[in-house]
Amino acid sequence: MQSLRRFVRTLVAAGAAAVLVACSGGDSSDGEAQMADGGDLVIRGAGATFPKPLYDKWIDIYGAQTPGVAFQYAGVGSGKGIAMFLAGKDPAGEVFGGAEIDFGASDAAMSDADLDEVGERGAVMVPMTGGMVVLAYNLPGVEDLTLSREAIEGIFSGDIKNWRDERIAATNPDLDLPKRTITPVVRRDSSGTTFIITSHLAEAFPAWRDGPGAGKQIDWPGGSMAVNYNEGVAQRVKVTEGGIGYMEYQFAKRLGLPMATLQNKAGDYVEPTAAAGSAGLGAAPEVPDDLRVFVPDPPGAEAYPIVGYTWLLLYQQYPDAERRVALKDAILWGLTEGQPIAEEMGYIPLPGDMVRLARAKVDAIQ
Amino acid sequence: MATNPFQKADSASSITRPPSGGERGTDSVFRGIAYACAGIIVLLVIAILWELGKQALPAMSEYGLGFWYGTTWDVNKEVFGVLPEIWGTLYSSLLALLLGGVFGIAIAIFLTQDFIHQKLALVFRTIVELLAAIPSVVYGLWGIYVLIPVIRPVADWLHTNLGWFPLFGTDLSGPGLAPAALVLAIMILPTVAAISVDAFRRIPYKVKEAAYGMGTTKWEAILKVMLPTASSGILAALVLGFGRALGETMALAMLIGNANQISLSLFAPANTLASLLASSFPEAGAVEVQALMYAALVLLLITFIVNVAGLAVQQYTVRKFEGKQ
């Protein structure tokens, strides 16, 4: 069965890669990033696709500075990232050929139930950056769509079916919206991005909380297209007129998709900009000891409404000293010098306090 | 008394003789290999069924028949049903069969019934068969970037003007049933055309001469004599083409829209069993894998039923049109 899985994965990857190459002009889309050859030490991690562009960039830059250590990151989705972290490798034996991984990554952190399964090596969750989940759409001729909270909920619950719906027209009086079916594009795989947007909807709408609910994988209404990975959503929106999908900012920007201006809790309309994202994340309540902070519906007039942190999942103990030091150095670099790079790429740099707390966590790893 | 001309050949030390031991040996070895190969194929089918069944068993006992008519696929709540996928699989395949079948048979008639020169016919046939060599990923990409933009205005016009008709009930946003069925039709075209051509070729030339001799026109000969005579072969072509359409994966995963819904509209996104398997399998957890195995079993069963039904119809036509028992 493993070989069958591998075969199917290869087929799907080939298809997805072909599509991506065709529509992003040959951007790297391989699922696994690799840098620095000739190094003896290879540090591997896997998980969320949401921060993958950033991690790839960091690996590029940091890898070039540190000969002798190679980093590899596979974007397999948050759900699978957690599963791989708990198993210490890919249980299915595909990613990295089943080799052991040194860290995981997730946009939904780990649940208490997940933490119970970690065992004696212990787990540490370190937020590396924040991000905005944007709603990118494909409506020829429409560049600056504005959506109210009700409209977002209506679109993704399947309640609003046409772009001419009055709940959309109400916030876009100047736009000539086409009479076209709305096709929501959602994630099929277990995803932290899904977790972030469904948490927002569940927080903002009791009906959503009791209905579809919040989670890494939920049952979306019938008419929505369900595809794998952030890349997949972006690509599908790109080819679907009338499509609207949620994805991390960078993926929409890469394909040149327009992103909607959204209404936040205070009732103001904000565009997905670095400042708005920081305002959103900055509205976090008190940071708990394990650094699991969620901001499902940030207050504040400037705040972008759908934001979240993304975490690295690390073990509390690394028996191999060389490996431990290399990994810790790299993460500390990401927490400090890596932050301006994150900002350049449309991610939200960590607030100063958070960096301090995160460093303390990393320092405590043995 | 007349001499028997065969007498001499028979009595002389001729080339006819009983087979030698070595020849008997070769013969039985070859027969053994043939039996073994046939047996391996049967064993392979059983092994696939066994393996699928074993892994699907937990899901089968859990969801039972409800799996067939359930419409949700919710991994979180562990509720699984494949009715939308069964619907999408059959709908897209039937549409493809309709289009691909008509064009495939038309091509076969064109190539075999003296419309063009033999050599030219060979060139055309090769071109049609080349379609079978194109990888399905390429078909998928072609569908997304070429076909969809081309048919979108047509689809939108149909929807705007004939929107009351259920088949045109929605507009075409992008990936959906219509582009998927069109690409599928092109993909099964070579299968249908090539086997139909062979079916027409098998008809003895005398049959056509007899038809002309009785004073039929060209089209009467084709429609009333040639087509019925070739019908069992053509049906075999259609069954094969349909089977191919049912199982086609990659191009459909890219084109059908992956939406878990049942819609009559030709332009709505849908999903098929094969594309559900392809897109969910790599990311599936343990429980979902069992459900997916069950879905694979459902697909296998549908294909099996289609083939058996096709065979039955084929035998009926052999009796009716070809006068064989």
Q: Residue A26: is its pLDDT beyond 90? A: no
In a domain? residue B191: yes
How close B175 gets to chain A, by Cα (Å)?
Answer: 7
Average pLDDT over residues A202-220: 89
Mean pLDDT estimate for chain B: 89
In a domain? residue B173: yes
- Please tell me the predicted confidence (pLDDT) of residue A136: 96
Cα separation, A332 vs B79, whole angstroms = 43
- Please tell me the predicted confidence (pLDDT) of residue A255: 92
Sequential DSSP letters for B28-77: HHHHHHHHHHHHHHHHHHHHHHHHHHHHHHHHHHHHTTHHHH---EETTT
- Angle (deg, nearest 10), helices B83-112 and B273-280: 120
Interchain CB distance below 8 Å, B278 and A12: yes
Q: Residue A237: is its pLDDT beyond 90? A: yes
Q: What is the pLDDT of residues A85-114, one digit of tens each?
A: 998 888 777 788 888 899 999 988 888 888
In a domain? residue B41: no
Between A22, A222, A242, which is nearest B173 by CB? Answer: A242
Interchain CB distance below 8 Å, B259 and A222: yes
- Please tell me the predicted confidence (pLDDT) of residue A6: 58
Chain A to chain B Cβ contacts (< 8 Å): 115
- Please check whether residue B273 is in contact with residue B299, taking contact to mean a CB–CB distance below 8 angstroms: yes
Sheet holding A41-47, edge to edge: A32-34, A69-75, A41-47, A103-106, A307-315, A123-137, A243-248, A183-187, A225-227
In a domain? residue B81: yes
In a domain? residue B171: yes
* Domains of chain A in sequence order: 2-130+309-363 (3.40.190.10), 131-281 (3.40.190.10)
| C-alpha count within 13 angstroms, C-beta hemisphere, residue A69 | 19
Which has the higher per-residue pLDDT, A287 or B122? B122
Q: What is the pLDDT of residues A133-143, one digit of tens each?
A: 999 999 998 88
Residues of B engaging A, defined by a Cβ cutoff of 8 Å: 51, 55, 71-77, 79, 84, 137, 140-141, 144-145, 148, 152, 170-171, 173-175, 249-250, 253-254, 257-262, 268-269, 277-283, 285
Backbone angles phi, psi at B80, to 5 degrees: -130, 140
In a domain? residue B11: no
Q: Residue A201: is its pLDDT beyond 90? A: yes
Substitution target from A12, A21, A82, A155 for chain B, most B beta carbons within 10 A: A12
- Please tell me the predicted confidence (pLDDT) of residue B196: 94
Interchain CB distance below 8 Å, B170 and A79: no
Substitution target from A5, A181, A218 for chain B, most B beta carbons within 10 A: A181
How close B137 gets to chain A, by Cα (Å)?
Answer: 6
Which has the higher per-residue pLDDT, A91 or A208? A208
Q: What is the pLDDT of residues A309-363, one digit of tens each?
A: 999 999 988 888 888 999 999 999 999 999 999 988 888 888 888 888 899 889 8
Task: Residue B69: give the domain boundaries.
Answer: 64-321
pLDDT band with cut points at 50, 70 and 90 for residue A8: low
Query: What's the number of domains chain B is made of?
Result: 1
- Please check whether residue A162 is in contact with residue A168, taking contact to mean a CB–CB distance below 8 angstroms: no
How close B29 gets to chain A, by Cα (Å)?
Answer: 34
A338 CB-contact burial (10 Å; exposed 0-12 / middle 13-18 / buried 19+): buried
Q: What is the pTM of this model?
A: 0.82
Integer-rounded Cα Rg, in Å, for chain A is: 20
Which of A20-29, A181-190, B182-191, B201-210 has the least mean pLDDT? Answer: A20-29
3-state secondary structure of B202: helix
In a domain? residue B265: yes
Q: What is the CATH number of the domain that holds B236?
A: 1.10.3720.10
